Amino acid sequence: MSLTVYGIPNCSTVKKARAWLESRGVSYTFHDYKRQGVPAERLDGWMTAAGWEKLVNRQGTTWRKLDDATKAGVVDAASAKALMVANASVIKRPVIELDGQLVAVGFDAAAEAAVASRV
């Protein structure tokens, strides 16, 4: 079993997910967007599994700071991918994969249940 958590270390939701995993003794690999970049090759799979709309965090500070033209330009998977590759902070966090398959985007009760049922 190979669990990977993608995100930014100082994100409160990522911290919550990592603490939850650690409290259950679940080993995982952490992929830090800031240090390792966005895995562009993984984005296509995530968008297929969850939809680009779910991956783009329109509630976050990063989205709110974007200019209106940039926001208006995110209309499909290609434009969303370009934005996410250029600006990792706009991706909803964390993204959690198990054995290369998307398990969760974000970390709420539903994501917790999805991860718990597989680890």
- The CATH code of domain 3-116 reads 3.40.30.10
Say whether 70 is catalytic. Answer: no
Instruction: Spell out the domain ranges in the chain.
Output: 3-116
pLDDT of amino acid 14? 97
pLDDT tens digits, one per residue of 57-113: 999 999 999 999 999 999 999 999 999 999 999 999 999 999 999 999 999 988 888
Do 43 and 81 form a contact (C-beta atoms < 8 A)? yes
Report residue 97 as tokens.
């994969």
Of these residues, 1, 3, 8, 11, which one is catalytic?
11
Name the helix (H) or strand (E) containing 57. Answer: none
Rounded CA gap, 45 and 48, in Å?
Answer: 5
| 46-66 mean pLDDT | 95
pLDDT of amino acid 119? 81
pLDDT of amino acid 16? 96
pLDDT of amino acid 41? 87
Reported pTM: 0.92
